[in-house]
A and B are shown apart, each in its own frame.
Chain A
């Protein structure tokens, strides 16, 4: 018996917040947090896989600009996972990884990564239902700099 009158229980532990919780409760909360994190990680993984949904034949022939080493390694891993390992193809042209490389090479790593992530969140299975992308072959055109998609009409009026 402690001086305060509470019984000393080996299953109780003192937390930094000053609460007393049974160890079983503590482990359950920890497990819930772990499970929550796992679910969120699964959501992110699902979204990343939904980026590449159409099976295609390999390899892709997109041009690859040079970017700093770390970003290049990350994009290489991503491409390895999405394109080579899962044999999938991006909805857009240029593909998300190439877009990332173009953005990083043009705007630097901080802004480039933000732009690449923004593209990644748009690259989902229903992207093809949107009417604001111009078609680029079997994919959707989404360059780093948005283009007007303007086809000059001058030749229509040339009488020869």
Chain B
């Protein structure tokens, strides 16, 4: 004799929720699918369906996730649930790099939602999305508007995020062109300017070693060795110039990553603070 169907469904649902809260999205997706299948009404259980879509997103099954979010967004009656589906789809598009579409969906969610908290979340996501494309000033502007519009902790959060985004606009940068040029003039110097001292020393050593071998081969009038060493020296010199430019790119990416981490950290502390 087993459990009644309703009790079994409740048990499965709580198990799925526990898996979801624990971050085990693979198993949670399986359990939510089972719950929705057993209930026979996907639209009747919007929260479970939204969670299933988010699990699919987390598992990298973007197409399935978007399909489910779209279904929920178009068929659900409750405006807040529709807004949540639009926000979920926006998050998937953001992950895929379609930031324009993402902003459209967040704006739609903000228009559809009735709850204050949900409207703020959608607006905040829309204001933060330009950061992905390094459009710092646009993000600062949007977050500034939110700071003025929303009182209390929400406005404070928007203000803090605006400060972080403004820092992104003033990040110290290194030009790949100038660092490459510096390495062309003095091998390894471009890398050192970007703080990659050991890489710079290595580039200098390799270029100098190849150059010294080329000099020795030319001095010996050894044509074949000279050609070989000439090719090697040219290649190491080119590698050193490219290395200078690449070091600048790494430098810039590392600085931007600091800003992204700050934004993420701040969002993780909200609204629990």
Contacts and interface: CB of A to CB of B under 8 A. Distances in A.
Interface of A: 16, 33, 36-37, 40-41, 43-44, 47, 113-115, 117-118, 120-122, 124, 126, 130-132, 146-160
Contact of B213 (A40, A117, A121): A40
Given A36-B212, A37-B216, A160-B51, A121 B206 contact: yes
21 contacts: A40-B209, A44-B206, A117-B236, A118-B243, A121-B236, A121-B239, A146-B250, A147-B253, A149-B253, A149-B257, A150-B132, A151-B264, A152-B91, A152-B94, A154-B90, A154-B125, A154-B129, A157-B121, A157-B125, A159-B117, A160-B54
B256 interface: yes
B186 to A, nearest CB: 15
Interface in B237-256: 238-240, 242-243, 246, 249-251, 253-254, 256
Given A44-B209, A158-B54, A158-B91, A153 B263 contact: yes
Contacts, number: 123
B199 interface: yes
Contact of A150 (B58, B213, B260): B260
B95 interface: yes
B76 to A, nearest CB: 13
A121 B203 contact: yes
A150 B199 contact: no
A121 B212 contact: no
Looking at chain B's contact residues, is the secondary structure mostly helix, strand, loop, or mixed?
A: helix
Contact of A115 (B87, B128, B236, B239): B239
Looking at chain A's contact residues, is the secondary structure mostly helix, strand, loop, or mixed?
A: helix
A152 B132 contact: yes
A37 B206 CA distance: 13
A121 B199 contact: yes
Contacts of B253: 132, 146-149
A126 B200 CA distance: 13
Interface of B: 47, 50-51, 54, 57-58, 84, 87-88, 90-91, 94-95, 102, 117-118, 121, 124-125, 128-129, 132, 196, 198-199, 202-203, 205-206, 209-210, 212-213, 216, 219-221, 235-236, 238-240, 242-243, 246, 249-251, 253-254, 256-257, 260, 263-264, 267-268
A120 B203 CA distance: 10
A33 B220 contact: yes
B216 A36 contact: yes
B219 A148 contact: no
A117 B242 CA distance: 10
Contact of B257 (A33, A117, A118, A150): A150
A148 B124 contact: no
Given A150-B260, A152-B94, A160-B84, 10 more contacts: A33-B216, A36-B216, A132-B253, A148-B257, A152-B91, A155-B54, A156-B264, A156-B268, A157-B87, A160-B50
Nearest to B245: A118
A131 B205 CA distance: 22
A132 B206 CA distance: 22
B24 to A, nearest CB: 15
Contacts of B219: 33
